[in-house]
């Protein structure tokens, strides 16, 4: 069911014509991961023109709709792929969910997970619409760092993306 399919008739690409792609990631094996707002994750094998709708990470539950709203995608040095959704952060390895990343209070990371950045020590920095979180490499829970700060009295601010400005510091970008 979750195998790559050759797109000889262009029928498999049809869902992408209406997909709201939020982020693109190309992993070490030349697989392009497409995070979409409403359709989950699509994977494309760039070397062979093969296509797969990746739904293994989605549970059959009431949260499935939010889990299909994938806003961020990033892979670490060990081959884990992190999928930031409207509901939670999934850690995926070999097409299977390894774990849901929660806060230290064992709750889902609140807000839309807009961006994920992985530093040189393989730690994950998670930008949520409601705050910045830090997940140490191989840690079970994410640590809350800060809420979006209020610039010039405009509130609420929203952490939209983060980027590495050096290998030891990350900077959060805010939008209003």
The better pLDDT of the pair 157, 95 is held by: 95
pTM: 0.74
Q: Measured between alpha carbons, how far is residue 101 from residues 62, 73, 90, 93, 140 in Å?
A: 18, 14, 6, 14, 7
The token duo for 93 is: 């390895």
What angle (nearest 5°) sits at the alpha carbon of residue 170, between those of residues 116 and 159? 55
pLDDT digits (tens, 9 = 90+) for 68-119: 788 899 988 888 889 998 878 888 887 777 788 999 998 989 888 989 999 8
Note whether 158 and 175 are within 8 A (CB).
yes
């Amino acid at each position: 069911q979750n195998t790559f399919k050759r797109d000889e008739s262009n029928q498999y690409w049809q869902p992408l014509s209406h997909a709201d792609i939020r982020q693109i990631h190309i992993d070490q094996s030349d697989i392009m991961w497409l995070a979409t707002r409403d359709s989950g994750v699509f994977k494309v094998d760039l070397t062979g023109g093969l296509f797969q709708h990746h739904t293994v990470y989605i549970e059959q539950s009431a949260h499935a709709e939010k889990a299909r709203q994938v806003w961020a995608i990033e892979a670490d040095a060990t081959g884990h792929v992190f999928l930031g959704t409207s509901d939670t952060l999934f850690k995926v390895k070999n097409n299977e969910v390894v774990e849901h990343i929660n806060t230290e209070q064992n709750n889902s990371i609140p807000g839309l997970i807009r961006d994920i950045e992985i530093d040189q020590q393989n730690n994950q920095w998670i930008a949520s619409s409601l705050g910045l979180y830090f997940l140490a490499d191989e840690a079970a829970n994410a640590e809350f760092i800060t809420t979006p700060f209020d610039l010039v009295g405009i509130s609420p601010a929203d952490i939209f993306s983060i980027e590495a400005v050096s290998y030891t510091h990350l900077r959060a970008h805010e939008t209003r």
